[in-house]
């Protein structure tokens, strides 16, 4: 198998840069309704404890989000989002834990950066908030720019492609160019194909099968496959509909994308993906 070169963004903490392998990002959704861990960690103390547990399992950093992007989810107000994520980021920063902020809002990205977040993870790639790119440029942080076509209420209707990989790459490149025009340094950008966002299961599989084409933009690659619907048929126990039972399948995806040069995987079950990326790193080196 042809293995893609693993790229990483510049300006990230040496703690991350020195790993020299696919990073494992632990998901911390401080939301009442995220589809996979919804409601469990919605107060600061519990959220911080869960993040510490993920770090204990080997997570390299924690992605903190306050707004659900579950299919069909409705939006919350910015102040509500910030009320949930900012105390958690502040506390994790005080504990020496590296965080990214999962938000589509420039204002939340800015406040999260003040609280200590080191990476902005924007599932809309700058499409949801016209000030996001300018804000990221000013903050001078690494920026995960995900492929996105519309908010959760409409995204399933937007899953129409004649050639999914080509179109996703073209749309990502458009946003990359816009970000650069707004002052974001190209070497701070990480791209993400946005599995499950305006994509049906077959679209996700097609993107994964043709993963090496994602390297054509010569930017680091981030992958969020964890517990998503397209893994449902590979649940264990077989036939389970509980998203947690997609963790073994998620680890299999982590092995595959790590072997193919992903910069990072975003996962709920950290232990499985840490084992996966460490094993595949042996094979890559
Ligand atoms: N997926 C979710 C949330 N944030 N961020 C990036 N960069 N990529 C993703 O695929 C992604 C994301 C949705 O999953 P969740 O509700 O389980 O957190």
Give 157-175 pLDDT, tens digit per residue: 999 999 999 999 999 999 9
Within 8 A by CB and 6+ apart from 201, the residues are 229, 230
**Closest C-alpha to ligand 1, atom 10:** 224
Dist CA 141 CA 281 (whole Å): 27
Residue 241 φ/ψ, nearest 5 degrees? -110, 5
For CA atoms 74, 149, 227, 264, give the dihedral sign.
negative
Lowest mean pLDDT of 28-37, 84-93, 237-246, 268-277, name the range. 28-37
Give the ligand 1 atom nearest the CA of 37.
Answer: 17
Within 8 A by CB and 6+ apart from 84, the residues are 30, 31, 42, 66
HEC profile for 55-88?
HHCCCCEEEEECCCCCCCCCCCCHHHHHHHHHHH
Single out the residue of 174, 167, 122, 168 nearest to residue 145, CA to CA.
Answer: 122
Q: Give me the catalytic one of 188, 266, 278, 284.
A: 266
**Cβ atoms of residues 137 and 7 within 8 Å:** no
CA of 189 to the centre of ligand 1 (A): 17
When pLDDT is cut at 50, 70 and 90, the band that residue 42 belongs to is low
Give the ligand 1 atom nearest the CA of 121.
Answer: 7
**Cβ atoms of residues 222 and 192 within 8 Å:** yes
**Cβ atoms of residues 98 and 13 within 8 Å:** yes
CA of 204 to the centre of ligand 1 (A): 14
CA of 224 to the centre of ligand 1 (A): 6
Within 8 A by CB and 6+ apart from 174, the residues are none
CA of 31 to the centre of ligand 1 (A): 13
pLDDT in tens, 133-154: 999 999 999 999 999 999 988 9
Give the ligand 1 atom nearest the CA of 227.
Answer: 17
The pick from 38, 70, 193, 224 for probing ligand 1's pocket by mutation, whose C-beta has the most ligand atoms within 8 angstroms, reads 224
Dist CA 50 CA 59 (whole Å): 11
DSSP for 201-223, please give it: HHHHHHHHHTGGGGGGG-S-BEE
pLDDT at 68: 86
**Closest C-alpha to ligand 1, atom 13:** 69
CA of 75 to the centre of ligand 1 (A): 15
Q: For this structure, is 266 an active site residue?
A: yes
When pLDDT is cut at 50, 70 and 90, the band that residue 59 belongs to is very high
pLDDT in tens, 107-125: 999 999 999 999 999 999 9
Give the ligand 1 atom nearest the CA of 68.
Answer: 16
The pocket around ligand 1, CB under 6 angstroms, is made up of 27, 29, 34-36, 69-70, 102, 121, 123, 144, 146, 192, 194-195, 222, 224, 227, 266
pTM for this prediction: 0.96
């Amino acid at each position: 198998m042809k293995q893609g070169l693993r790229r990483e963004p510049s300006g990230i903490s040496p703690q991350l840069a020195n790993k020299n392998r696919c990073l494992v990002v632990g998901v911390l959704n401080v939301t009442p309704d995220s589809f996979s861990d919804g409601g469990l960690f919605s107060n600061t103390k519990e959220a911080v404890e869960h993040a510490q547990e993920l770090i204990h399992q080997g997570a390299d950093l924690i992605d903190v989000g306050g707004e659900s992007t579950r299919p069909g989810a409705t939006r919350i107000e910015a102040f509500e989002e910030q009320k949930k994520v900012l105390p958690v980021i502040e506390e994790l920063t005080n504990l020496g834990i590296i965080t990214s902020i999962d938000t589509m809002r420039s204002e939340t990205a800015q406040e999260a950066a003040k609280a200590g977040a080191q990476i902005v993870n924007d599932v809309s790639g700058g499409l949801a908030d016209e000030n996001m790119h300018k804000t990221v440029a000013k903050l001078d942080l690494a920026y995960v720019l995900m492929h996105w076509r519309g908010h959760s209420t409409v995204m399933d209707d937007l899953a129409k492609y004649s050639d999914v990989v080509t179109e996703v790459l073209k749309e990502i490149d458009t946003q990359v160019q816009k970000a650069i025009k707004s002052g974001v340094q190209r070497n701070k950008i990480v791209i993400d194909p946005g599995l499950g966002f305006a994509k049906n299961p077959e679209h996700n599989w097609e993107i994964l099968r043709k993963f090496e084409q994602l390297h054509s933009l010569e930017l680091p690659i981030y992958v969020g496959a964890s517990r998503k619907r397209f893994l449902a048929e590979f649940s264990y126990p077989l036939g389970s509909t509980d998203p947690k039972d997609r963790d073994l399948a998620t680890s299999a995806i982590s092995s595959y994308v790590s072997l193919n040069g992903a910069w990072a995987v975003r996962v709920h079950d950290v232990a499985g993906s840490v084992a996966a990326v460490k094993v595949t790193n042996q094979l890559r080196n």
